[in-house]
Chains A and B, each alone.
Chain A
């Protein structure tokens, strides 16, 4: 199994630009999670989906952030417009059981 796949692995952009992060969950997993990790705040849940439907987006910091899951094998997290304080590592994770979430390698985002 290839595991959770995320792209790009690194992204450097300028303030105001749109950023799109991509995730392919493990086949057969019906839950998908987006997290953000920073030194100051640790790992925070942004949003999660069940069977492609958003269940809880209360962690999304503001309207500049949006996430979609058009099918069971693909999800995107978009930031528009990006700001320097969005710089972080963004992880996607998938699971079929509550206790075991499998994380992707993450996308390191730097907004200048």
Chain B
């Protein structure tokens, strides 16, 4: 079983829609969590960190449920430019190693 699991999608949504991605992790020692974004044929880039209390960055909201080992990303008012693959990432305490999920592909349609 992969340490970080995501629904691969694709999610095809119209502009302006709200879309949510989910992710589960199996390593209970994981301490920090992130969402990275990867555009087609490009490198991954950090989108946002995920905090236990939940956090928001503009149209993006990330949440963490440690008891369920579950992470989510909510995108409101989707834009065409949001089309990308979203990678869920976990990091154990005291480590620089990141474990990536395989990603969820989002296509925002005009």
Question: Interface residues, chain A, CB within 8 Å of chain B?
Answer: 31, 33, 41-45, 48, 50, 55-56, 91, 95, 98-101, 103-106
Contact = CB atoms under 8 A, between A and B. Distances in A.
A4 B36 CA distance: 17
B34 A42 contact: no
B91 A103 contact: no
Contacts of B96: 31, 33, 48, 50, 55, 95, 98
B60 to A, nearest CB: 16
A43 B49 contact: no
A100 B47 CA distance: 10
Nearest to A97: B96
* Residue of A42, A50, A105 contacting most chain B CB atoms (<10 Å): A42
A42 B97 contact: no
Nearest to A44: B100
